[in-house]
Amino acid sequence: EIIEEIDKENNKMSFRVLEADLLKQHYKSFKFILHVVPKREGGSMVRWTLEYEKMNDNTPELHIMMQLAAEVSKDVEAHLISQA
């Protein structure tokens, strides 16, 4: 992976996957965008965006990667709560 952008003011970062078996076989490009939005009542909302370009129309959608992002977010949340 390579970090493309870190926007501290808006709590946003993006990184591109450069090498992976999944990428080489099915996708031309693959990029994650992570945006953390503070809530008024405390805590934050995490928004993951996945941008990708398929090699062809038969390439599957990347639902599994969004599930992974959700699991990572839950793990980070559990860690942060345990530190409070």
Q: For 25-66, what is each residue's pLDDT tens digit?
A: 788 888 999 999 989 998 888 899 999 888 888 888 878 878
Sheet with 44-54: strands ordered across = 2-7, 12-16, 27-38, 44-54
Would you say residue 5 has pLDDT above 80?
yes
Dihedrals phi, psi of 63, to nearest 5 degrees: -60, -35
The span from the CA of 31 to the CA of 42, in Å, is: 29
Q: For 14-23, what is each residue's pLDDT tens digit?
A: 988 877 776 6
